[in-house]
Structure 1
Amino acid sequence: MILELNQWFSSSYWIGMTGAWIIVAAYILDRCIGDPRWIPHPVIGMGKAISALERVIRSRVTSNQGLKKAGIWFPILIAGGSFAVTWGLIYLLARIHPMVAVIAEVILIATTIASKGLKDAGMDVYRHLIQGDLPAARRALGMIVGRDTAHLDEPEVVRGTVETVAENIVDAIVSPLFYALIGGAPLAMAYRAVNTLDSMVGYKNDKYLHLGWASARLDDWANWIPARITAVLLISGAWVMKLDARRAAQMVSRDARLHPSPNSGFPESAVAGALGIRLGGHNVYHGVSSFRAYMGEPTRLMGAGDIVRTTRLMFWSAGSFVILCVLVSLGIWLAGGTLLW
């Protein structure tokens, strides 16, 4: 385990099989119990720190140019601080006993992923739909999206749910596991901080256009590789599940770049192609209509069953990536090499 600073940076621990099995254990833990509400979640602390830093900055800076410069402090202090605090905690626990640090690694990495939470949110909407309770389905969708849901019909509720589950395969599963593979719980927690920053201040509106630009840009960079890995995993999952893998690949090639996000289009277009549906279209945010480029070609009407199929694709992608982490770790460990450090 981690006994000295230079041992941790040597990556013999993380690129060895110990690190791989910690990732497996963390994924299983999240898959089984998710994020119990009675356990304090690190993201809550991150959110409070982000809000406090924003108040400090806005009390001292008013000009757009000043806000843009100050925005750089969000990634430095929040993401960097998350890395440092997590590293320090693991280091101190390793001093007590290596197994204590291993258990902490498992728990901390599990908090950075949300496979169970994502599944539960999607299936909550699904259950209301199959029960014929469209108002309840709208409210359930409203808990996980920013768009207005009060007047959506059933196909639009399904679309919103499928888009959210597909997009978050990257943010909530593959990306944190990707960074856990490279740098353990400290780097996975730093990624979660970056993602939280983007969700809080990374908007292109009047309030955050200048202050949140660095956070939004860093989130785009952080998800660039994981998003493309996810698209490949979704295509392979479509093939295994006997969906339309060929169309999934075609839609990724054709439509992924049309999404306003440089990353979200990859999982969304892959899912749209695999299911033979069309995602994207008009959404309403606080009464204002906004059009998002279409993803995929509709071969049929969307139905509640598409939520279930998307959830299954999500679990295939997550499980496949965990196995890939084990294989990569095993290969590098056997070769006596290092991955990053």
Structure 2
Amino acid sequence: MMRAGLLLAAYIVDRLVGDPRRLPHPVVGMGRAIAALERLIRRFCYKPRSLKRGGVLLPLIIAGGAWGLTVLVVWLLSRLSPWLAWAAEVWLISTTIASKGLKDAGMAVYGELLRGDIPAARKALGMIVGRDTAGLDSPEIVRGTVETVAENIVDAVISPLFYALLGGAPLAMAYRAVNTLDSMVGYKNDKYRDLGWASARLDDVANYIPARLTGLLLTLCAWLLRLDWRRCWHTVRRDARLHPSPNSGYPESAVAGALGIRLGGYNVYHGVSSFRAYMGDPLRTMEPEDIRLTSRIMMLAGTLFVCLCAAAAWLWAVAWR
């Protein structure tokens, strides 16, 4: 019952407050720890084989440390007051969720497009994607925004809640550490191919079940929002496996199917063009309204999932009694 209350309270805090800049955020500390540990590993590891071995230390120390430190903080606070420990867990779990931040970022692009300010929309999109945004027209800006919001439904909403259900704030913080590692060192380029392989693989494993749950959940959301849920489910089954990531294809293909649009195509990264497999069918031209609809789908998915998690925790408590 306490776990159910934790999830509901943490999700409400994120929806209302998000990540205020004036408050310290655990991910900032994780980023600094990752950068410091990377420098230390590179000081002693030079060859590809030694870098691969050193790369195993990153998730062990960072994710393990996030879990252990959270356990210690919650335990110490529980010595003072159980309610203080509970409040701390609520806040810590809320920092692993980013539904409000994700929605705000997407809607910032949406607002600029509605005003007809394409340069400002490109700039707003550039704040949340790694691709080059200069020269993008309105449909391509919409595509980049929809892809980013859809992909992050797993990383920023469903996975943190999933691990909070299983292990409270400690496991949710460990997941966020794994995800932060992947975003910092999990690249398949010359610099991180050897050092970041373990972090990238662990992130794939951590998101494997939540991503597939998200595919089912988004189909339900499409039905509730009176979108095309049949095409949503069909597109997931047909296109999710085409994505280069073993997990990101599930939310992206689901959103593409529900909206009747086609995601994927050519993107430019630092001047180099790269093709990503198409997902969905181009039944119509993408328009700014698709950003708002994707944000609605994302927020509904988070709400449904946290309610399902709370119900599962309650049923477990009843069965255990």
TM range (shorter): over 0.9
> Structure 2 residue aligned with 1:108, among 85, 92, 106?
92
Q: Secondary structure at the match of 1:328?
A: helix
Equivalent position of 2:194 in the other structure: 210
The residue correspondences of 1:211-226 to structure 2 (distance < 5 A) are: 211-226=195-210
165, 177, 189: which is aligned to 1:193? 177
Q: What is the root-mean-square deviation of aligned Cα atoms in Å?
A: 0.6
Residue number among 77, 82, 92 corresponding to 1:93 in the alignment:
77
Per-residue CA deviations over 1:153-203 (Å, capped at 9, x if unaligned) read 100000000000000000000000000000000000000000000000000
Opposite residue 31 of structure 1, the aligned amino acid is: R
Is it true that 1:150 corresponds to 2:131 in the alignment? no
Partner residue in 1 for 2:223:
239
Cα distance between partner residues in 1 of 2:268 and 2:144: 11
Superposed counterparts of 1:168-179, under 5 Å = 168-179=152-163
Please give the alpha-carbon distance, in whole angstroms, between the structure 2 residues aligned to 1:37 and 1:155: 32
- 5 Å-filtered alignment, 1:273-288, equals 273-288=257-272
Match runs of 1:234-273 below 5 Å: 234-273=218-257
Q: Aligned partner of 2:92: which letter?
A: L
Cα distance in 1 between the residues matched to 2:56 and 2:33? 15
Distance 2:5 2:283 in 1: 42
So what's the TM-score if we normalise by structure 1?
A: 0.94
Secondary structure of the 1:301 match is coil
1:43 aligns with 2:27: yes
Corresponding residue for residue 334 of structure 1: 318
Q: Distance in 1 between matches of 2:297 and 2:150?
A: 9
Matching of residue 27 in structure 1 with residue 8 in structure 2: no
Q: CA deviation at 1:316?
A: 1.1
Paired residue type of 1:49: A
Residues in 1 aligned to 2:148 and 2:218: alpha-carbon distance in whole angstroms: 15
> Structure 2 CA distance, aligned partners of 1:112 and 1:185?
9
Counterpart of 1:315?
299
Q: Percent identity?
A: 66
The answer to whether residue 53 in structure 2 is matched with residue 73 in structure 1 is no
Shift of 1:22: 1.0
Corresponding letter in the other structure for 2:253: S
Does residue 1:141 correspond to 2:107, yes or no?
A: no
Distance across 2 between alignment mates of 1:288 and 1:158: 21
Q: What secondary structure does 1:293 align onto?
A: strand
CA distance in structure 1 between the partners assigned to 2:226 and 2:246 by the alignment = 28
Q: Distance in 1 between matches of 2:185 and 2:32?
A: 13
Shift of 1:146: 0.2
Q: Which amino acid aligns with 1:200?
A: M
1:83 paired residue number: 67
**Structure 1: how far apart are the matches of 2:231 and 2:34?**
41
The correspondence for 1:124, drawn from 102, 105, 108, is: 108
Distance (whole Å) between structure 2 residues aligned to residue 315 and residue 43 of structure 1: 22
Q: Provide, for residues 88-133 of structure 1, a one-character-per-residue CA deviation record: whole Å limited to 9, x for no partner.
A: 0000000001000000010000000001000000000000000000
Post-superposition Cα deviations, 1:281-333, rounded to whole Å, max 9, x if no partner, equal 00000000000000100110000000000000001110010011111101111
CA distance in 2, matches of 1:179, 1:241: 27
Write the letter of the residue equivalent to 2:132. Answer: D
Which of 210, 213, 234 pairs up with 1:229?
A: 213
Is there any run of 5+ residues in structure 1 with no aligned partner, and where? Answer: 1-16
Report deviation, 1:272: 0.1
Stretches of structure 2 that go unaligned for 5 or more consecutive residues are none
Deviation at 1:141, TM superposition (A): 0.3
Matched to 2:31, the amino acid is G
Letter in 1 for 2:203: D
Secondary structure in 2 matching 1:318: helix
Return the TM-score normalized by structure 2. Answer: 0.99
SS for the counterpart of 2:177 is helix
Moved over 3 A (4+): none
> How many residue pairs end up in the alignment?
321
Q: CA deviation at 1:210?
A: 0.5
